[in-house]
Every structure is written in structure tokens, then in C-alpha cells.
Chains A and B, each alone.
Chain A
Amino acid sequence: MTERPDLSPRDRMQIERHEVPARSAIIRSMDFQEVNLGYSQALAMEEAERCLDCANPRCIDGCPVRVDIPKFIELLAAGEMKLAAESLLDDNALPCVTGRVCPQETQCEGLCIRAKKGEPVAVGALERFVADWALDHLDELESNVDPDSGRRVAIVGSGPAGLAAAGELAKSGHKVTVFEAFHAPGGVLIYGIPEFRLPKDIVQKEVDRLKGLGVTIEVNAIVGKTWTLRELRQNFDAVFIAVGAGLPVFMGIPGEDLKGVYSANEYLTRVNLMGAFRDDTDTPVLQGKRVVVVGGGNVAMDAVRTARRMGAKEATIAYRRGKDELPARDEEIRHAEEEGVKFELMASPVRIIGSEDNWVTGVECQMMKLGEPDDSGRRRPTAIADSEYVLECDMVVVAIGTRSNPMLTASEPDLKINEWGYLIIDEDGMTSVPGIFAGGDIVRGAATVILAMGDGKRAAHAIEKYLGTVGELMPAAVARVSASKDPTATA
């Protein structure tokens, strides 16, 4: 390895940000392989030299899981890959995931000192590089797992919040069992975020790494149906609810029950989790030639780019505000544009139109104009009278958000929920039932992967505090619910 250059801060400021190599739009929009290729070692080490190693780094404050960003970047710049990887994994349970899907521009990179006068350090791309290196060199890494604490924690849901909490708790020596309703772990990471943005084998490897820390995952286990929350509470020292906000929201306009109208949840689940984009799977999905996706967030971008890859000649985003208001990550919008996605902005659907045999033929939209900012700080759209027009299409995907799923919360009347059905927690993340904690979208409403992970990590710490101060250890023998194969008893 060549000698590390001796750079002054002024020198570092001269280094321009290194773009992350990406596959060509024309090729990638025809397949499901990952769009971003990621840095090479050389590019990563050069980009790492851009970090000024500030005395008071602000980037960490922008990170919901508080990754010690300057530390892992400095180790990377010094060529200390093993130490960089260990440092990163110590702070972040799923760095391969967050390096790919975090909205860095509003978090770490948004707060980077260098962003004030130019381009911030490419923290996300560097995180991804170090995390991918770590996955390839797991044997060499030391994972600091504390001795068995004798405490058992149940986690409901294996999405980002659940896995982040599982990682933290397992490292502290607690026996963790994660209950997942689907047949595979990962939650939104496998059913929602498409392969071309987050390859599923990477999620699987991250999950396998957590299993290596001693985490048990029970799939096809629907808490609220297969097991009650009460059973979990009786058989574990603490429970963390991280079930997400799984229910799709529809627009409530005429025509949403026509054939060819999907919720983003259903469309993405069919394609991602069930693998409908591959030839060797049985799950069917419609392959619209002209597809309209309603919404402007990351999920809408995922759906519209998926539709392109599934053969749509025309894939259009219909969004009721302007381009500046699109809530999606900058990179997703840019990638979508490069892939030929059209943006029908200031357009609000008022009706979905169908043929005689009830197949979608178009979306009637109303043109909007922007007024004063609303509570979310975004300018409120108002309709322009008599401005209706029709976007012709043969498939519609509704991606305007999700809401809480009452399946679990309704099964336990003691759990306090707010008017939108989200769980109410105290400052420690504990629900109204002692020993039952909650975090992620089932508390905050639909948000990002990294915010959910931050909740998981915080809850893990609160659970440790709770386990250390409250209650007696539960003898495993009386924990059995029944003589049947009972994961709550054998975990």
C-alpha cells in the first residue's frame, strides 16, 4: 500500500467529491441488478481524505443511530479496514443497508461542515464501502458479544427497527427471538425496497450476521394471531414491538377497486418478496405498458422504477406538488429521471377510469397550484377549477403512504394507542404495558429505515436499563406455553 499523503485541511478542501459509479440508465432500466456500483478501494480512500476530522463533528448529530462517522472514515483513510469495519458495525446493526438507502443529504451529509461551502463528504458511499468490505471479511472481524445475561427478549417484526434492536441486545448478551409474520426476515427491506436499490442477498447476509451473534428468527409467526402479545410478555423478560405501519392507504376516489389498481405494498411485495420479476417464481403480477404511480416519496420512486423494469413503455409519477416538494431522496429522483420516468407534477388524481370489463384505462387528474406552507412545511396544494384531464394508462400504483395495522395492537387492549392507531410510548420507549417497548413506524408513523433503526437502538438501551433494574429472571422451564413446538419456550 502506498504511503498515506500528509494533507493539510486546506489540501483536503481541494479534493472534489467522488461520484459513486452507477450502471448506465439504459441498461439498468431493463433489469433488476443494483444501480449503484459503489466505490473501489482507491476511490473510497481518496474520498475519505476529504473528511476534515472536525473538532466538533456535526455529522454524528445527523445520524439517528449515531455512527461515529469521523472515526470509521479516518480508519478507512489510514487503510485500517478491519478497524474501520469493527467501528462501523459497533454503531450500526445494518450498515450495508443504510449505506444504500439512507437520505444522507438531510442527515449526516446535510450537516457536514463541507456542505456549507460545497459538496459534503460522501458519507453514505463510504459507509457502504466499509460495510460491504466487512461482509466479505466477517471471519477476520472480532464481534464483541457480552457473556450470556440470562435474559430473554422477544422482538415483534424483523424490519429495520427490530433488527437494529436485535443486534444491540444480542451484543449485550441477551437471548433475542425475533417473530416475523412473513416467510422471510427483513420486513420492508425485502418486501418493499427493490432489488436494484438493495440486493436481497445483502439483506440476507446482514440477517445471517445477526444470527451469528445469537439472534433467533421465527418466520411465519404472526403475533396477535399465532401468538398473543400476552404470551410473549409471559415468556420473555421484555418485548419490543416493531411491526411497522403496514396498512396501505388508498386515495378514497372512485375506481380504486378496478382491475389494474395496486397499492404500492402489494405491487412491490409481489415483485420483490415473491420475486415476480424472475422467471422461476409462481406469483403473478400485472405488467402494465403505461403505468401511473401516485405519490412522490421513496416508495413511489421504487414502484415507478420497478414498473419500468417490468416492461412499462411509459412510467409516470403523478404528484400533487412541485418537483422541489418531492419527499423522495435526491438520488432516487435523479435515477428515476435518468431511467426515463416521467413526472406529472401539480397533478392530483380525482378518479380512476375503467373499461366496460373493469380494467383501468386512465387516471383523471386535476391541476393544482401551491399556496401557503402547511404544518409539514410544504406548500399546500389547491385545485385549479375546471382543470381536469386524463392520463391514459393500463395500471395504477397508489403510493401515498401507509398507516398502522391494528392486528397486533387490537389484540392487547391494555396497549394505549393514539387517534391514528400508533402506539403511545414514554421517553424510554416503553408502552403503557410494563416491559413492552415499541419503536419504528408503529410509533412514529411511516418514516425511514434509519429512523426506525434509531428507535430500535434506543429501545435496546432502554430495555437493558429495564432488565438491569426491574424484575427477576424467569426460569425457562415454566416459560412453556404448551407442549407444542413453541419458539417462546425454546428460544
Chain B
Amino acid sequence: MHPVVKRETLSPNVIRLEIEASRIAEVRQPGQFVIVRIGEGAERVPLTIADADRKAGTITLTIQAVGKTSCDLCQLQVGDSIQDVAGPLGEATELVDSGHAVCVGGGVGTAVVHPLAQGLATKGVEVTSIIGGRAREWIIFEDELRRYGDVRVCTDDGSYGRHGFVTEELHDMLEEGGVDHVYAVGPVPMMGAVAKVTKEYDVATTVSLNAIMVDGTGMCGGCRVSVGGKTVYACVDGPEFDAHTVDFKQLSDRLSMYRDVESSAFESKRCLIEGLAEAAGGDTPR
């Protein structure tokens, strides 16, 4: 059992949980993830370890309410427990150790970018973060990222920061020059768009892929993605890959495999998410 020791609402549909998982806190490295199962009958879902506190024996997970399981996770309160947490899984991020790195985060992906920015800054790399969301209340981790360098915010509706997509800000930065590496985590279309623009400028880019997984140990093959024309497993070969070799179209397509099944399961939970959105004082997510 892994009790929730801290819970925080970050945006209308994103929460942050700190849970007890001392062994994982001790050995995890940036970029790795865990597979969690809330309780009997629940799904196994992969979640990136956003942060860890070895002393307290806790790890931080950031969850966006998009379907039944993520909603159930978002409902957890301090004192509730997650039955199963397995990990740390996946390979650790290979962080560059010099130059200027740009970390691009979209939506809940910003939570995954956070430990990368942290790791890069620790190594003495100059870090600039570009983070985006639908509107001001969807911007997360801005203050945390500011500790590691400049942060540029973009919103779709212009309510905060630049009115536009993160890729537009990134494009301008690449045009100015001086960017050595880009790390991008967010919705698949965003990562695809980042890969396209950095390829134009020939800047090495790493993305973290959120494929569908069951076991997280290479056993089911459900997370297979095409990278550089080869089929690889996001769980054991990744989750991070060279963005310029990933087939984002296929990834996006495979992620839609259970959309019909999920949306019917999700219907029964809708009211609860609206409650969550209200609590955060934001709009109802789509």
C-alpha cells in the first residue's frame, strides 16, 4: 500500500500526488516511470515520476484527468492509498552536460519536463523552458521551472504569456540560434510539431512517449512504436527517443485504440471531473 501524503490541484484537470514509495524514491532517475494500480479491478497505468524525496521516501506523480483511471487517481485524497506501484521503469534520460537546452512542456507534459530541467541545471547546462496550455489556469510548474532558468509561457487563448503555441516560441528561439538540445514532452501533436521545427534547424531533440502499456517490462508489446523505421517498445527501450526518428502519426493512431471503450467508461465519471474542475475554479475540460 502506498498512502497519499500530499495532494495539490495544479490546473482544472491536473493534480499532483505525493505518495509513499521509499525504494522507488531511492533508486529512480529522471525520465523513469512507475506503473500504478489503484486497487482491485483497476487498470495498470504508467505515470512518469515527476520528482522524488529520498529522505521522506516519497515520489511525486502528476495526473491529468482524461479517462476513468486518471479520474479515479485525481479523486484520491491525503490518507487514501494506491495499492500497487511498480518501478522505476524505463531508461533514465540521457541529459546533455553542456550548452543551452530548451525544455518544452505542453499541458501535463510540463510535469515530466520538470525533472529534466532540474537534472540539466544541476549539470550546469543553461536551461530555458517553454510551457504552454489552453489558458492561464492550465499553466503548471511555472514557478518550479523558473528555479532552473528562464521560462516562456504560451497560451492558446492569449490569457497569459504569448498568444500562441509553444512551437511558435520555440521557432523564434531557434531562429535566434544558440540552442544545442531540445527536450519536449506533451500531447503527441505538440511533440510532432516540435520535432518538425527542430529538424528544420537541425537541433537534436528528445521526446518522452506516452504509449499504452500493461506490464511496463516489455512483456505485452502493446507500447510498440516505430522509431527510425524499427519497432521498439516504449516501456523498455524508452520512454525517451530521438524525436526526429519517431513515427508520431502511428503513435497517435495506436493511442486511439480504446477511445470508444474509454469514452463509454468515462461517461459515468463525468460529473466527478466537473466537480474537480469547479474546485480548481476553471472551465470544464472538454
- List residues of A whose CB falls within 8 A of some B CB: 181-183, 219-222, 225-227, 246-248, 250, 256-257, 259-260, 262-263, 265-266, 269-270, 274-275, 278, 280-284, 286, 357-358, 405-407, 482, 484-486
The 10 lowest CB-CB distance pairs between A and B, nearest first, are A266-B220, A484-B22, A220-B86, A183-B84, A284-B261, A263-B221, A282-B43, A284-B258, A248-B221, A246-B219
**In the bound complex, do residue B261 and residue A484 qualify as a contact, i.e. CB atoms below 8 Å apart?**
no
Q: Which of B43, B224, B253 contacts A358 (CB 8 A)?
A: B253
**In the bound complex, do residue B89 and residue A225 qualify as a contact, i.e. CB atoms below 8 Å apart?**
yes
Known: A280-B41, A284-B262, A485-B23. Contact between A269 and B215, CB under 8 A? Answer: yes
A282 CB contacts on chain B under 8 angstroms: 41-43, 68-69, 72, 265
**In the bound complex, do residue A284 and residue B265 qualify as a contact, i.e. CB atoms below 8 Å apart?**
yes
**In the bound complex, do residue B218 and residue A274 qualify as a contact, i.e. CB atoms below 8 Å apart?**
no
- Given A181-B86, A226-B86, A274-B43, 7 more A-B residue pairs with CB atoms under 8 Å apart are A226-B23, A256-B231, A257-B226, A265-B221, A275-B41, A283-B44, A484-B22
Q: Which of B25, B44, B224, B257 contacts A183 (CB 8 A)?
A: B44
Q: Give Cα distance in the complex from A46 to B192, angstroms.
A: 69
Kindly provide the distance from the CB of B235 to the nearest chain A CB, expressed in whole angstroms. 10
B231 CB contacts on chain A under 8 angstroms: 250, 256-257
Q: Give Cα distance in the complex from A461 to B27, angstroms.
A: 34
Q: Which of A256, A269, A278 contacts B214 (CB 8 A)?
A: A269
Q: Give Cα distance in the complex from A270 to B214, angstroms.
A: 8
Kindly provide the distance from the CB of A181 to the nearest chain B CB, expressed in whole angstroms. 6
A286 CB contacts on chain B under 8 angstroms: 257-258, 261
- How does the 8 Å CB contact mask read for B68-98 relative to A, with 1 for contact and 0 for none? 1100100000000001111111000000000
- Show 16 A/B contacts (Cβ-Cβ < 8 Å), sorted by A: A248-B220, A250-B221, A257-B231, A257-B254, A259-B254, A263-B221, A265-B219, A266-B220, A266-B222, A269-B219, A270-B214, A284-B43, A286-B257, A358-B253, A405-B217, A484-B25
**In the bound complex, do residue A266 and residue B214 qualify as a contact, i.e. CB atoms below 8 Å apart?**
yes
**In the bound complex, do residue A247 and residue B218 qualify as a contact, i.e. CB atoms below 8 Å apart?**
yes
**In the bound complex, do residue B219 and residue A259 qualify as a contact, i.e. CB atoms below 8 Å apart?**
no
* A181, A226, A227, A247: most-surrounded residue (chain B CB, <10 A): A226
Kindly provide the distance from the CB of A354 to the nearest chain B CB, expressed in whole angstroms. 10
Task: Determine if B250 is an interface residue (Cβ-Cβ < 8 Å).
Answer: yes
**In the bound complex, do residue A482 and residue B41 qualify as a contact, i.e. CB atoms below 8 Å apart?**
no
Kindly provide the distance from the CB of A394 to the nearest chain B CB, expressed in whole angstroms. 13
- List residues of B whose CB falls within 8 A of some A CB: 22-27, 37, 41-44, 57, 68-69, 72, 83-89, 214-215, 217-222, 224, 226, 231, 236, 250, 253-254, 256-258, 261-262, 265
Q: Give Cα distance in the complex from A30 to B257, angstroms.
A: 25
Q: Which of B23, B44, B217, B250 contacts A484 (CB 8 A)?
A: B23
B27 CB contacts on chain A under 8 angstroms: 226
Kindly provide the distance from the CB of A480 to the nearest chain B CB, expressed in whole angstroms. 12
Q: Give Cα distance in the complex from A485 to B26, angstroms.
A: 11
Q: Give Cα distance in the complex from A182 to B84, angstroms.
A: 9
Q: Give Cα distance in the complex from A405 to B217, angstroms.
A: 8
CB nearest to B41 among chain A residues: A281
**In the bound complex, do residue B218 and residue A220 qualify as a contact, i.e. CB atoms below 8 Å apart?**
no
Known: A281-B41, A283-B43. Contact between A226 and B87, CB under 8 A? Answer: yes
**In the bound complex, do residue B22 and residue A485 qualify as a contact, i.e. CB atoms below 8 Å apart?**
yes
Kindly provide the distance from the CB of B243 to the nearest chain A CB, expressed in whole angstroms. 19
Q: Give Cα distance in the complex from A269 to B37, angstroms.
A: 15
Q: Give Cα distance in the complex from A182 to B258, angstroms.
A: 23
* A256, A260, A269: most-surrounded residue (chain B CB, <10 A): A269
Interface residues of chain B: helix, strand, loop or mixed (majority): mixed
CB nearest to B84 among chain A residues: A183
Kindly provide the distance from the CB of B188 to the nearest chain A CB, expressed in whole angstroms. 15
Q: Give Cα distance in the complex from A227 to B22, angstroms.
A: 12
B22 CB contacts on chain A under 8 angstroms: 484-485
CB nearest to B90 among chain A residues: A225
B42 CB contacts on chain A under 8 angstroms: 281-282
* B37, B42, B219: most-surrounded residue (chain A CB, <10 A): B219
Q: Give Cα distance in the complex from A256 to B226, angstroms.
A: 11
**In the bound complex, do residue A181 and residue B215 qualify as a contact, i.e. CB atoms below 8 Å apart?**
yes
Known: A226-B87, A257-B226, A485-B22. Contact between A407 and B69, CB under 8 A? Answer: no
**In the bound complex, do residue A225 and residue B88 qualify as a contact, i.e. CB atoms below 8 Å apart?**
yes
B215 CB contacts on chain A under 8 angstroms: 181-182, 269
**In the bound complex, do residue B217 and residue A246 qualify as a contact, i.e. CB atoms below 8 Å apart?**
yes
Q: Give Cα distance in the complex from A358 to B256, angstroms.
A: 10
Q: Give Cα distance in the complex from A182 to B44, angstroms.
A: 10
CB nearest to B72 among chain A residues: A282
A486 CB contacts on chain B under 8 angstroms: 23
A357 CB contacts on chain B under 8 angstroms: 253
CB nearest to A487 among chain B residues: B23
Kindly provide the distance from the CB of B139 to the nearest chain A CB, expressed in whole angstroms. 30
Q: Give Cα distance in the complex from A358 to B219, angstroms.
A: 24
Kindly provide the distance from the CB of A422 to the nearest chain B CB, expressed in whole angstroms. 15
Kindly provide the distance from the CB of B35 to the nearest chain A CB, expressed in whole angstroms. 8
Q: Give Cα distance in the complex from A240 to B134, angstroms.
A: 52
